[in-house]
Structure 1
Amino acid sequence: MVRHNNQLPDNLPQLQNLIKRDPESYRDEFDQQYRHFLGTLEIFKLNPIDENKNFDDLVTFISQVAQCYPDVCLKFPQLLVDVLKDLSTTLNPAMRSTIVKALINLRNKNLIPALDLLELFFQLLRCPDKSLRTFLQNHIINDIKNMNAKHKDMKLNSTLQNFMYSMLKEANPKAAKMSVDIMIELFKKNIWNDAKTVNVIASVGCFSSITKVMVASLKFFLGHDEEDQKNSDSESDNEVDLKGAMLVNRVNKKTKKRQKQLDMVKKQAVKAMKKKNKAEHFNFSGIHLIHNPQGMVEDLFKQLQGSNERFEVKMMHLDVISRLIGIHELFLFSFYPYITRFLQPHQRLVTRILQFAAQASHELVPGDIVEPVLKVIANNFITERNSSDVMAIGLNATREICARCPLAMGEDLLRDLTMYKTYKDKSVMMAARSLIMLYREQLPALLHKRDRGRTTVAQAERKIKEYGAVLPSENVPGAEILLKQAKEVDVDENESSSDSEEDGNWVDVSHSDGEDNGEDVEEDDEEGSDDDDDEEGDESDEDDEEDDSEDEEEEQTDKTEKKISKKEAKILSAQEAAQELALTRIFTDEDFKKIDMANVKKAVTNSRKRPLEAEKSEFVKLDKIEMIYKKRKHDKESRLETVMKGRTDRSQFGFKDNRKNEHSSKTNREKSKNKNYQMMRQKARGKVKKSFKDKQVALRKHLLQQKKMR
């Protein structure tokens, strides 16, 4: 092989290329460059502030070919590590960056242990070099991700987490902030998504004396779920209407643009279908993995009371505290009097504070603790001295609190709030009626008789739940619908095999008392709907009308109560039969589908258009509190609607004159617009403004003419 010894000492890239092709042939040249590196290193340590281009090139060269001579370069990584440990803060930024990149190159070739390098990089986060810190953060995240790609190295992860725990307690704010950012990013990438990482952030990060670290830790317990909600909201908003797009394309004129739009809609529809068919991926947020939520919420509230941070930081504290109380069903009674201080209509971000009050309510909180919050909202928001929007927001917040803690509402306060169901403003009226609908399902006894509405089968089956009580279900809810099917199966089997009995036949429940009752319940719901529509209407769909005499009203209520008691008796007997059926039969998937459909029918009356809202979620959506029903006059949609109405009689382009017959000739006035100015110059001069005397003369003539006409 031809050797170019005359140029190699000065041309390191060429030597690097030749060494990678044939290492043994160029060992002497490499030994020469390595000895040159050792001598340059001693010179560089004497003055590390200045940039040394020769040393920079040698470090890059040796890191590229070190795998070819592992025996010679055995101590090379440790020499670079010692330089960074001893001179990390005094090194020239360019030289420090070169050494870091050389160590990363050696790490990729497995010439230096990953743990030693990561610990060194964590220490380098203290350096006052923002670009280097960002580079190190990305490398640490990617390196840990690659190490856990095939299988999680629990020993390495545990060691790094312990080191990160000590870094969070670091006095250097930049290093602590970068450490918590790395932990949060690794949690979001499902690499360190264990309880240890969450509890390190909760116990150290949320109570750090460094504001940036504390804010980043609080956002960790808030941002992940908000992103999931936004993604779910955006997916629900961006539903694809493929059928409508195909109809528009079939009716309208065929153009390339419309065909292209139709193809885009088809692609979106296919993507949406794939997303629906894909199995759901549940990613629990870190707030569920906290070991001691009660101690954390108490410490956070104590920190909030004694802090002098910005208002936005206090709002983060309130949000985390309310979420912890609601999700883990904790007790922090001093939180509710504290939050009532901010419940004023003029308070900044008052709807968020109302949201926190609703999130901190749950069934295990005594009603006496939450009731003062409802009274403050009623006194400050739900009064006619406020605007209709403020009243509606107050009623919506009351509904969200009562949905999570129904026992907090008193009978007198509830009846006062239900009086707004006939309010002149639609937003207030709808908010009050939603509160009525809630208590029709939860505690109908607190409502006035005329507000309770028609009792559904689900309401009749529901038992009033007292504070702290647990109501386990004795059977499968809705299994009564299978009684009729079981009877038909038994009849067929008895006819086909009357003389022989086999093990495993269906149990004959045709002689049970509850079977006919179960059928009667369904028939009563189906046939009795017309009579109920004549006697009383659903209060959520029509205005309240008082009867002329109280005696007639009492008679009607007595009749309805008797009907309800009969229904309850039939339901109880049907449930007994359903319980017997559930104990002797294995339900199939089709049976459960029928049961689900029956439960939906139970929750809906014959006059109600749609079922009630689903079960409450973990977090209160801000839209439910800020829900204003009335239509704005000057919003974008209304303005666009008026613009489009004005374009109905216009052609697509150009000016349209006011002639009724398009083929008729134009007037002289219209023709003059297209004539040459020289032809119309004489008439243009006549448009000169009149003097004051000429105006008086013209006005006098006009008045005299009007007088003669009379």
Structure 2
Amino acid sequence: MSGRHNNKLPNNLPQLQNLIKRDPQSYVDEFQQQFRHYQSNLQIFKLQPDKPNKELADLVMFLAQVGHCYPQPLSTFPQELTGLLMSHHTMIEPDLRMTFCKALILLRNKNLIDPTCLLELFFELLRCHDKLLRKTLYTHIVADIKNINSKHKNNKVNTTLQNFMYTMLRDSNPIAAKISLDVMVELYKRDIWSDAKTVNVITTACFSKVTKIVVAGLKFFLGKDEDEKNDSDSDSEDEGPSVRDLKVRYSTGKKSCKNKKKMEKAMKVLRVQLFTKSASRFFFATIHVQYLFLYKDFSEKLLKQLEGSKERFEVKIMMMEFISRLVGIHELFLFNFYPFVQRFLQPHQRDVTKILLCAAQASHQLVPPEVLQIPCCLFVAAVVNAIREVAARCPLAITEDLLQDLAQYKMHKDKNVMMSARGLIQLFRSLNPQMLHKKDRGRPTEASKEAKIKDYGELEAKDHIPGAEILEVEEGSKEGEEDGGEAPSMSGGDDDGEWVDVHHSSDEETGEVAEKLQNIPVEEREAKAAAVSGSRLLTQDDFKKIRLVQLAKEVNGAPGKGQKRKNVDLDEEDDSRGEVLTLRNIEKLHKKPKDDKETRLATAMAGRSDRKDFVKKHHKLNPHASTSNREKRKTKNFMMMRHSQNVRTKGKRSFREKQIALQNQLLKKKKQYK
């Protein structure tokens, strides 16, 4: 009898739900009873949709849990919930509305409802003023679209949802538009919707009337993908000469300080090349050609919005930075942007270094020199750094007189200004040394001798691989060794059965051949490189040898006069630049500037606020006892105690006092010995 009384199926929905999932056919009557109960409560709810209904919420979750067991009777159940939410979502009680949404999510996870209709409904529900509901819907939308495209891309569903989101971004409700934008950004970051259409739909957010949506769109285009950066850094070591190759290259021959210095310099050049290569591979997929269809029209439209914008200054800077990246990467002709930026280049301007960054980022070699004028408002370290970055992208933007004037700051007392000026000198030692004073040109290298000055709009198209002449010279040297001497032994052991050390000298031979190339004229080397490039297919080892020779050109001095000049000091950070600049390139400080007296005093007082006294306090055993004479002397006036022996200090003796003391000591010892 006790077991019969414990069976409370009509009222215990969790127990009935568990039993139905195990054996659906045995509990059809109980299910029909609960389903009729649900229909009656549904009619009551339609009369008063704004009233809470706990019983209806329990029945809805029960039917959603057992929906896969009775698909025929519950065929219209998802459509009923969808219709209720679509027509009454603004007036339904929040807990009951959350229950309906969770029931639909449960039915979607069991594949009992179409994803397109459900996701469109959830986007409509984003207009509700319920933060918890919006968070739940956002999580489900991202997860559901991810599951839809897990095995293969469902282009039909993706196209429908993207078109719907395009309309949602223009919705009058800013909350719904902002969450729709967040969904698209999250799907792009997860590589689910990483196509060009998604990016171009997100561009519409930059022209929204809501500031939050504009900022979110700009942050998406200005953001950085750390995964791609790590991948590029990990792959950079496999494509060029390694540290071991350089050590083998410069360890041949006599051990001397000269070879050691050459190796150290080659190490710096290698680190610069690896850093530059990794920075250039840092792929901003959201602003490249294959993603933005009409980036020229888009940049012009965004500049027009910026000129008439009344947003905060931080938002304007973000717009300027985005436009500058578009102009610099795609080499656009947006001449109105440069005078607009130069209006903000004032000494008192807030965040002037970010504006300098935009001016440098928007520079490229196709900008006419008369359009891109170097601002000369304030010669500080940040401005010199910005001028260096502009000149690196557009060398014709700086005149010879201005360059020589800036070079004089190499002896400035401020180290930051001095190092910035030296970085500018270092840049033009490789670009165009003739623009510098003779004393600033440094020791010429093979690479600087081969560098050619380009006119405006001139492009250098090579018909050969630079450095390929080493392969022909190397083959000639190997043929000479085969004719004149024996081939090196590659055996692992001798006749007596003992092991013999075998020396592999491929890298050493490459270094010796590279030294032979210095005696060959430049025209002959180019002819040999063209012959090698057009007559054979190069392997990875061949490209590795070519890169080693090109790396040596940055180290070896050019043959001829001028060898007594000091070698060029390379700065890894100055010469390593990619297609995207960072604020660190402009605000780079080699030495922290000194604080003024007020700043130091404020820092000291702030540190004393929470600090306890380190002086040991002597507490009296009897607080009512009188003070001693020693304690009383501490409170007396110094002029009253200056003649007392108790306040006299030992002090530091003068030279005359030491002389008299030593004389008295010697006289005393002399008397003792008599």
> CA separation of 1:232/1:428 partners in 2, compared to 1, >3 Å: closer, same or farther?
farther
Give distance in 1, aligned partners of 2:112 and 2:526.
Answer: 73
In the alignment, structure 2 segments of 5+ residues that lack a partner are 237-279, 486-510, 558-566, 601-613, 647-656, 661-674
Corresponding residue of 1:147:
148
Tell me, yes or no, if structure 1 residue 381 matches structure 2 residue 342: no
SS, match of residue 371 in structure 2: helix
> Higher relative CO (CA 8 A, sep ≥ 6), structure 1 or 2?
2
The amino acid across from 2:50 in the alignment is I
SS, match of residue 457 in structure 2: coil
The amino acid across from 1:181 in the alignment is D
Q: Aligned ranges for residues 399-548 of structure 1 at < 5 Å?
A: 399-491=388-480, 522=515
CA contact 1:207–1:214 (8 Å) conserved in 2: yes
CA contact 1:436–1:451 (8 Å) conserved in 2: yes
SS, match of residue 67 in structure 1: coil
> CA separation of 1:465/1:683 partners in 2, compared to 1, >3 Å: closer, same or farther?
same
Higher mean displacement: 90-99 or 440-449: 440-449
Tell me, yes or no, if structure 1 residue 308 matches structure 2 residue 313: no
Q: Deviation at 1:76?
A: 0.8
Task: Give the fraction of aligned pairs with identical amino acids, expressed as a percent.
Answer: 50
Corresponding residue of 1:327:
329
Q: Deviation at 1:491?
A: 3.5
Q: How many residues align?
A: 546
The amino acid across from 1:78 in the alignment is Q
Corresponding residue of 2:666:
none
Normalising by structure 2, report the TM-score: 0.74
Higher mean displacement: 169-178 or 623-632: 623-632
Corresponding residue of 1:642:
none
Give distance in 1, aligned partners of 2:123 and 2:114.
Answer: 15
Corresponding residue of 1:617:
578
Give distance in 2, aligned partners of 1:138 and 1:423.
Answer: 57
Matching residue within 688, 699, 710 for 2:643? 699
The amino acid across from 1:112 in the alignment is I
Q: Deviation at 1:579?
A: 2.1
> CA separation of 1:228/1:493 partners in 2, compared to 1, >3 Å: closer, same or farther?
closer
Matching residue within 378, 385, 397 for 2:386? 397
Q: Aligned ranges for residues 23-62 of structure 1 at < 5 Å?
A: 23-62=24-63
Give distance in 2, aligned partners of 1:698 and 1:519.
Answer: 84
Tell me, yes or no, if structure 1 residue 593 matches structure 2 residue 544: yes
The amino acid across from 2:359 in the alignment is A
SS, match of residue 119 in structure 1: helix
Give distance in 2, aligned partners of 1:520 and 1:72.
Answer: 86
Q: Aligned ranges for residues 253-332 of structure 1 at < 5 Å?
A: 284-288=284-288, 289-332=291-334
The amino acid across from 2:466 in the alignment is P
Q: Deviation at 1:78?
A: 0.8
SS, match of residue 333 in structure 2: coil
In the alignment, structure 1 segments of 5+ residues that lack a partner are 237-279, 383-390, 497-517, 526-566, 640-654, 656-672, 703-708
The amino acid across from 1:142 in the alignment is A
Tell me, yes or no, if structure 1 residue 579 matches structure 2 residue 568: no
> CA separation of 1:29/1:394 partners in 2, compared to 1, >3 Å: closer, same or farther?
same
Q: Aligned ranges for residues 139-218 of structure 1 at < 5 Å?
A: 139-202=140-203, 204-218=204-218
Give distance in 2, aligned partners of 1:445 and 1:152.
Answer: 57
Corresponding residue of 2:243:
none
Corresponding residue of 1:604:
555
CA contact 1:329–1:362 (8 Å) conserved in 2: yes
> CA separation of 1:448/1:634 partners in 2, compared to 1, >3 Å: closer, same or farther?
closer
Give distance in 2, aligned partners of 1:450 and 1:354.
Answer: 29
Corresponding residue of 1:659:
none
Give distance in 2, aligned partners of 1:80 and 1:193.
Answer: 33
The amino acid across from 2:346 in the alignment is Q
The amino acid across from 1:210 in the alignment is V
> CA separation of 1:356/1:140 partners in 2, compared to 1, >3 Å: closer, same or farther?
same
Q: Deviation at 1:591?
A: 2.4
Q: Deviation at 1:64?
A: 0.7
> CA separation of 1:81/1:3 partners in 2, compared to 1, >3 Å: closer, same or farther?
farther
CA deviations on 1:103-129 (whole Å, 9 max, x unpaired) are 111111111111111111111111121
CA deviations on 1:244-275 (whole Å, 9 max, x unpaired) are xxxxxxxxxxxxxxxxxxxxxxxxxxxxxxxx
Corresponding residue of 2:341:
339
Q: Aligned ranges for residues 118-133 of structure 1 at < 5 Å?
A: 118-133=119-134
> CA separation of 1:167/1:3 partners in 2, compared to 1, >3 Å: closer, same or farther?
farther
CA contact 1:183–1:197 (8 Å) conserved in 2: yes
Q: Deviation at 1:453?
A: 2.4
Give distance in 2, aligned partners of 1:146 and 1:469.
Answer: 51
Q: Deviation at 1:342?
A: 0.9
Corresponding residue of 1:268:
none
> CA separation of 1:684/1:23 partners in 2, compared to 1, >3 Å: closer, same or farther?
same
The amino acid across from 1:296 in the alignment is F
Normalising by structure 1, report the TM-score: 0.71
Tell me, yes or no, if structure 1 residue 629 matches structure 2 residue 629: no
> CA separation of 1:5/1:40 partners in 2, compared to 1, >3 Å: closer, same or farther?
farther
CA contact 2:467–2:547 (8 Å) conserved in 1: yes
> CA separation of 1:177/1:479 partners in 2, compared to 1, >3 Å: closer, same or farther?
same
CA contact 1:484–1:519 (8 Å) conserved in 2: no
Give distance in 2, aligned partners of 1:690 and 1:161.
Answer: 83
CA contact 1:225–1:285 (8 Å) conserved in 2: no
SS, match of residue 521 in structure 2: helix
CA contact 2:127–2:175 (8 Å) conserved in 1: yes
Q: Deviation at 1:582?
A: 3.0
Q: Deviation at 1:137?
A: 0.6
> CA separation of 1:687/1:74 partners in 2, compared to 1, >3 Å: closer, same or farther?
closer
The RMSD of aligned alpha carbons is 3.7
The amino acid across from 1:152 in the alignment is K
Q: Deviation at 1:442?
A: 1.2
> CA separation of 1:64/1:696 partners in 2, compared to 1, >3 Å: closer, same or farther?
closer
Q: Deviation at 1:100?
A: 0.4
Matching residue within 357, 369, 381 for 1:355? 357
Q: Deviation at 1:483?
A: 3.4
CA deviations on 1:129-188 (whole Å, 9 max, x unpaired) are 111111101100011011111111111111111111111111111111111110001000
The amino acid across from 2:157 in the alignment is L
Give distance in 1, aligned partners of 2:191 and 2:217.
Answer: 17
Q: Aligned ranges for residues 605-684 of structure 1 at < 5 Å?
A: 605=556, 607-608=567-568, 610=570, 614=575, 616-632=577-593, 684=628
> CA separation of 1:45/1:410 partners in 2, compared to 1, >3 Å: closer, same or farther?
same
CA contact 1:521–1:571 (8 Å) conserved in 2: no
Q: Deviation at 1:519?
A: 9.2
Give distance in 1, aligned partners of 2:634 and 2:330.
Answer: 86
> CA separation of 1:5/1:35 partners in 2, compared to 1, >3 Å: closer, same or farther?
farther
> CA separation of 1:401/1:693 partners in 2, compared to 1, >3 Å: closer, same or farther?
closer
CA contact 1:454–1:605 (8 Å) conserved in 2: no
> CA separation of 1:281/1:93 partners in 2, compared to 1, >3 Å: closer, same or farther?
farther
Corresponding residue of 1:544:
none
Tell me, yes or no, if structure 1 residue 689 matches structure 2 residue 633: yes
SS, match of residue 66 in structure 2: helix
CA contact 1:183–1:192 (8 Å) conserved in 2: yes
Corresponding residue of 1:541:
none
Q: Deviation at 1:630?
A: 2.6
Q: Deviation at 1:101?
A: 0.4
> CA separation of 1:351/1:691 partners in 2, compared to 1, >3 Å: closer, same or farther?
closer
The amino acid across from 1:62 in the alignment is L
Give distance in 2, aligned partners of 1:593 and 1:486.
Answer: 16
The amino acid across from 2:140 in the alignment is H
Give distance in 1, aligned partners of 2:417 and 2:190.
Answer: 45
SS, match of residue 396 in structure 1: helix
Corresponding residue of 2:653:
none
Q: Deviation at 1:481?
A: 2.6
